[in-house]
Amino acid sequence: MSKASSSEAVGPTNSSWPLWEVFVRAKNGLAHKHVGSVHAADERMAIEAARDVYTRRMEGVSLWVVPSSAIVASDPKETTELFEPAADKVYRHPTFYTIPEGVKNI
Amino acid sequence: MTEEDVVAENPILHHALRLGDDALILGQRLSEWCGHAPMLELDLALANIGLDLIGQATHFLNLASEIEGKGRDADALAFHRDVLDFRNCLLVEQPNGDFAQTIARQFLFSNWQELLMREIAAAPEPRLSAIGAKAVKEIAYHARFASEWVVRLGDGTDESRARLIAGLDWMWRFVDELFDPKDGAPSLRADWDARIARTLAEASLELPKPRRGIVGGRSGHHSEHLGHLLSEMQFLQRAYPGATW
Amino acid sequence: MYTTELKDKNQKSAALSVADEDPEKLAAFEARVAADDFIEPKDWMPEAYRKTLIRQISQHAHSEIVGMLPEGNWITRAPNLRRKAILLAKVQDEGGHGLYLYAAAETLGISREEMIEALHSGRAKYSTIFNYPTLTWADIGAIGWLVDGAAIMNQVPLQRTSYGPYARAMVRICKEESFHQRQGYEIMCVLAAGTPEQKRMAQDALNRWWWPSLMMFGPPDDKSPNTAQSVRWRIKRETNDELRQKFVDVTVPQAEAIGLRVPDPALKWDEARGAYDFGDINWEEFYAVVRGEGATAKERIQARTSAWEDGAWVREAAATHASKRAMRLAAE
């Protein structure tokens, strides 16, 4: 966990604990996947809460917790301009190309 | 031969009963929190520790039952013995009190239990060491969890600090029993002292003042609290003898 | 466990209106939902959709949390080590489910504190089923079997509900709940095959939990004003009466299999419908419990309020410690 996250997540003194997003790696070789969130006062507690809440059934071998406030999300209003331009770039996909029949290993 | 003599003559039975009873009674205490913790996340955390302990109790009492060979299974040991035959330390039967008192108890106990279980896991008796090896990983987490909370409460607000000091004060009377030269594990004291002192220093708390230790749990002379705990825990088995559940 | 949408009979707020919404956005939204697309937190949504979801998800979360209490009542008295571990794990699961659901509701712009405050003040409802007492160990069996059984029936379709975070929480919950109903039924099987006292306990528990379990599905469809809109928005996927019928049809043979009698003289297999006919539900009882007149309503809210208030100093201490530490780190 990085030091930088702690001050951001903690905020001013009051009794409500910030929200953290939890990511679990199910097994080595796989990426961490978002599974949910927990409230915790500090990063150590966030890891432990994530462990107690989201890995009770052997769901993982590694955890990330990220202060929810640190996540920057794309705006759904921009969805068309961000993602639709990719739609006509069919040449990025292997099925776009014609290969003579019978040619293998390509 | 009385039951006490049988236990004294068989050191493995003796260990299995003590370890099983410690875990059972503390697991029972932690399960009292379920649904009442200060935060939902803590409900889950305390239940997880309780489940670990109930699992350890089951393993150790199964072993005790097997060694004893009298046809009393783990459930019979847990639900049909009375106070005089329970071998847990006094610390684990202490009431939950507030969250600080629960944390104080867990902090003192888990740090001790972890050191003890490391020895047991490395000991030559294969049946005990197999259970110990599994338990030690669980307990290391309990000790860490409780130690971190000692720091949070000790270095939190004035109120949390006062409550933690009161909780430690309540529990400290029962520490010596864990290391009693006759009936405890005196060799673990130095390591345990160092662990406790380190965490308390981090919480900017002083070590509680030494005081006369209260002992007796290991020979069946418990606090008043255990009888009430048992009357609740054993109610169904006592009210419906011979029934299966 | 599940709660259906609960309101006092006299409480207004029937179907929340969408009259003020931008018609173009509303039409696009409705089209997406109708196509079984998921709505995600930052997407545009009608205010009525957001409010209905907050109410439903938070009621559902409260039901999980309050639902820990009647079963928690027996953890310390579970009859053997195996049952003790199972029950503690199960009640802990309910806590986890409440947590997932609070988190899902938080994505709609309400905090957990606000929801908890609404529960404690009586503004928010929770499932009526948890306002009944657990008198004997058989009640733990009956809750797992009937209450979790009804819950599963309600929850399975919600895995495809239109709001992404809610649907994902439901997927996790359904997966975890798969053992809950079985452990309850197993308890009932053992009791029903046990001593005469145990059989009596089991039958008595079925007698007391049967009707409240049927009420869990909520008022009949013709008295459920929001159903049509909720079904259209995929917040609800089947109506109260459809789910209730399904529950009766699968549960009656389970009772018969272990020699227990369902406490309904009108219960009869209807060959033509291929379903059980069953007696009238006492809806006055249901609405009384919704109003907060259930046998243990005061105990439940008192237990939740005390836990929250007694824990205030703990939450404050941890938050204070975290900011002290952050300041020390910043000063280094």
Tens digit of pLDDT for each residue in B14-34? 999 999 999 999 999 999 999
Subunit contact A49:B44, Cβ cutoff 8 A: yes
Q: Does C306 touch chain B (CB under 8 A)?
A: yes
- Identify the band that residue B214 occupies on the pLDDT scale cut at 50, 70 and 90: very high
C245-304: pLDDT as tens digits: 999 999 999 999 999 999 999 999 999 999 999 999 999 999 999 999 999 999 999 999
Q: Which residues of B9-35 are buried (b: 16+ CB within 10 A; e: fewer)?
A: eeeebbbbbbbbbbbbbbbbbbbbbbb
Q: Which of A39, A42, A56 sits opposite B41 (nearest CB)?
A: A39
Instruction: Tell me, yes or no, whether B158 lies in a domain.
Output: yes
Per DSSP, the residues of B165-201 read HHHHHHHHTTSGGGG-TTTS-GGGHHHHHHHHHHHHH
C-alpha to C-alpha distance for A55 and A35, rounded to whole angstroms? 10
pLDDT in the model for residue A26: 96
pLDDT at C307 > cutoff 90: yes
pLDDT at A11 > cutoff 50: no
Subunit contact B41:A40, Cβ cutoff 8 A: yes
Nearest to residue C54, comparing CAs of C108, C17, C9?
C108
Fold category of A14-96 in CATH: Ubiquitin-like (UB roll) (3.10.20)
Instruction: Name the interface residues of B facing A (CB cutoff 8 Å).
Output: 39-41, 44-45, 48, 145, 148, 152
List all chains that touch chain C, counting a touch as 3 or more CB pairs closer than 8 Å. A, B
Average pLDDT over residues C222-231: 78
Subunit contact C103:A36, Cβ cutoff 8 A: yes
Subunit contact B45:A17, Cβ cutoff 8 A: no
Subunit contact A53:B39, Cβ cutoff 8 A: no
Report residue C192 as tokens: 């029903």
| H helical segments located in C79-226 | 81-106, 112-120, 137-142, 148-158, 164-192, 196-215
How many CB pairs below 8 Å do chains B and C form together? 143
C-alpha to C-alpha distance for C58 and C148, rounded to whole angstroms? 18
Average pLDDT over residues A69-91: 89
B70-121: pLDDT as tens digits: 999 999 999 999 999 999 999 999 999 999 999 999 999 999 999 999 999 9
Least confident piece of the model among B6-10, B204-208, B228-232, C171-175 = B6-10
Contact list, B152 vs chain A (CB under 8 Å): 41-42, 45
Q: Number of structural domains, chain B?
A: 1
Least confident piece of the model among B136-145, C55-64, C174-183 = C174-183
Domain around B214: 3-239
For residue C204, the tally of other CB atoms under 10 A from its CB is 16
Supply the pTM of this predicted model: 0.93
C-alpha to C-alpha distance for C88 and B48, rounded to whole angstroms? 9
Instruction: Tell me, yes or no, whether B67 lies in a domain.
Output: yes
Contact list, A10 vs chain C (CB under 8 Å): 319, 322-323, 325-326
- 3-class DSSP state for residue B151? helix
C-alpha to C-alpha distance for A31 and A98, rounded to whole angstroms? 33
DSSP-derived secondary structure letter, C287 = H
- Using CA coordinates, name the residue in chain A closest to C99: A38
Report residue A49 as tokens: 């809460």
Are the C-beta atoms of B125 and B67 separated by less than 8 Å?
Answer: no
Per DSSP, the residues of B102-142 read HHHHHHHHHHHHHHHHHHHHHSS-HHHHHHHHHHHHHHHHH
Instruction: Tell me, yes or no, whether B221 lies in a domain.
Output: yes
Instruction: Tell me, yes or no, whether B216 lies in a domain.
Output: yes
Q: Does B32 touch chain C (CB under 8 A)?
A: yes
Instruction: Tell me, yes or no, whether B173 lies in a domain.
Output: yes
- 3-class DSSP state for residue C191? helix
Instruction: Tell me, yes or no, whether B244 lies in a domain.
Output: no
Q: Which of A3, A15, A73 sits opposite C329 (nearest CB)?
A: A3
Q: Which residues of A63-82 are buried (b: 16+ CB within 10 A; e: fewer)?
A: bbbbbbeeeeeeeeeeeeee
C-alpha to C-alpha distance for B228 and B95, rounded to whole angstroms? 10
Subunit contact A16:C111, Cβ cutoff 8 A: yes
CA distances from C127 to B136, C124, C292 (A): 41, 10, 11
Contact list, C308 vs chain B (CB under 8 Å): 38
- Using CA coordinates, name the residue in chain A closest to C315: A15
Phi, psi of C270 (to 5 degrees): -105, 105
pLDDT at C327 > cutoff 80: yes
Taking the CA atoms of A27, C86, B30 and B81 in sequence, report the sign of the dihedral they define. negative
- Identify the band that residue C62 occupies on the pLDDT scale cut at 50, 70 and 90: very high
Per-domain residue ranges for chain A? 14-96
Subunit contact C329:A7, Cβ cutoff 8 A: yes
pLDDT in the model for residue A7: 38
Subunit contact C322:A6, Cβ cutoff 8 A: yes
B156-194: pLDDT as tens digits: 999 999 999 999 999 999 999 999 988 788 999 999 999
How many CB pairs below 8 Å do chains A and C form together? 68
Subunit contact A56:C96, Cβ cutoff 8 A: yes
| Residue C272 C-alpha, separation from nearest chain A C-alpha, in angstroms | 45
Subunit contact C194:B152, Cβ cutoff 8 A: no
pLDDT at C12 > cutoff 60: no
What percentage of residues in chain B have a pLDDT greater than 90? 91
- Identify the band that residue A6 occupies on the pLDDT scale cut at 50, 70 and 90: very low
Average pLDDT over residues C205-228: 90
| Residue C184 C-alpha, separation from nearest chain A C-alpha, in angstroms | 20
Q: Does C113 touch chain A (CB under 8 A)?
A: yes
Instruction: Tell me, yes or no, whether B235 lies in a domain.
Output: yes
C-alpha to C-alpha distance for C53 and C166, rounded to whole angstroms? 9
Sorted by sequence, the CB contacts under 8 Å of residue B116 that are 6+ apart come out as: B185, B188
C-alpha to C-alpha distance for A37 and A56, rounded to whole angstroms? 15
Q: Does C172 touch chain B (CB under 8 A)?
A: no
Are the C-beta atoms of A49 and A40 separated by less than 8 Å?
Answer: yes
pLDDT at C213 > cutoff 90: yes
Average pLDDT over residues C186-192: 98
Contact list, A52 vs chain B (CB under 8 Å): 41, 44-45, 48
Nearest to residue C264, comparing CAs of C200, C209, C189, C184?
C209
- Using CA coordinates, name the residue in chain C closest to A21: C103
Contact list, A42 vs chain B (CB under 8 Å): 152
Phi, psi of C4 (to 5 degrees): -85, 170
Contact list, C321 vs chain A (CB under 8 Å): 41-42
Are the C-beta atoms of C240 and C219 separated by less than 8 Å?
Answer: yes
Sort strands C268-270 and A33-39 into parallel, antiparallel or unpaired: unpaired
Instruction: Tell me, yes or no, whether B194 lies in a domain.
Output: yes
B107-143: pLDDT as tens digits: 999 999 999 999 999 999 999 999 999 999 999 999 9
